[in-house]
């Protein structure tokens, strides 16, 4: 019998469930679950002017210097290049 959520036999989609007790791998996919995690869990606890911009990076003042910080990253091999 086909699953009513997707129409495909043996498959189901977790998106219709709005509240999760745990952070799931799907929360890191950059879609709706990521947005809900940020808006419902992170923003209320860490609200500040920098976070209100909702960028995936920031410029931070460190003394007289500025440091660029990004949360949008990926793994590179080799870690260091010649």
pLDDT at 55 over 70: yes
Q: Mean pLDDT across the chain, nearest whole number?
A: 76
Which residue's structure tokens are 């989609």? 13
Instruction: Give residue 81's pLDDT.
Output: 65
Q: For 4, what's the count of Cα atoms within 13 Å in the CB-facing half-sphere?
A: 1
Q: Is 44 in contact with 38 (CB distance < 8 Å)?
A: no
> How confident is the model over 4-35, as pLDDT tens digits?
444 456 655 555 556 778 888 888 888 888 88
pTM for the full model?
0.50
């Amino acid at each position: 019998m086909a699953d009513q959520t997707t129409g495909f036999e043996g498959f189901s989609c977790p998106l219709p469930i709005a509240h999760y007790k745990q952070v799931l791998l799907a929360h890191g996919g950059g879609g709706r679950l990521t947005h809900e995690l940020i808006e419902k869990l992170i923003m209320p606890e860490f609200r500040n002017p920098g976070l209100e911009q909702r960028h995936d990076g920031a410029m931070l003042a460190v003394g007289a210097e500025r440091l660029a910080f990004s949360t949008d990253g990926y793994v590179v091999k080799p870690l260091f290049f010649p």
